[in-house]
Amino acid sequence: MPAAQPTFLLFSGHNDRAVVALCRFFSQQQLPFVIVARGAQDAIWRTVWAAQVVMSRLDKHLDVGLFRAAVQASQQASLVYCPTTEFMNQFVLDQRPALQTVGLQVGLPAAAVYAQLTSKLHSTAVVQRLTGIRPPPDMAWTHLKAPCVLKPRHNVSGAQVLYPQLCRTPEQLEAARAGLDPAQWFAQTWVEGQSHYLCGYLARSGERASFWQDNLLQQPGGKSMVLARSGRNPGVDEERLFNGLHALGFHGPFMMELISDAQGTLHYIEINPRFWGPLQLALTACPRLLSLFARDHGATLPEPPPPAPGPHWYAWAQGASQGDCRRYPHAEGLAAEELLRQHDVYAAPDTQALHACY
Which domains are assigned to the chain?
8-108 (3.40.50.20), 114-133+191-354 (3.30.470.20), 138-189 (no CATH)
pLDDT digits (tens, 9 = 90+) for 239-291: 999 999 999 999 999 999 999 999 999 999 999 999 999 999 999 999 999 99
**pLDDT score of 322:** 87
Q: Give the residue, 267 or 60, on which the prediction is more confident.
A: 267
Phi first, then psi: give them for residue 141, nearest 5 degrees: -60, -30
Q: What is the arithmetic mean of pLDDT over 184-210?
A: 98
Residue 103 reports pLDDT greater than 80: yes
- Contact of 136 with 261, CB cutoff 8 Å: no
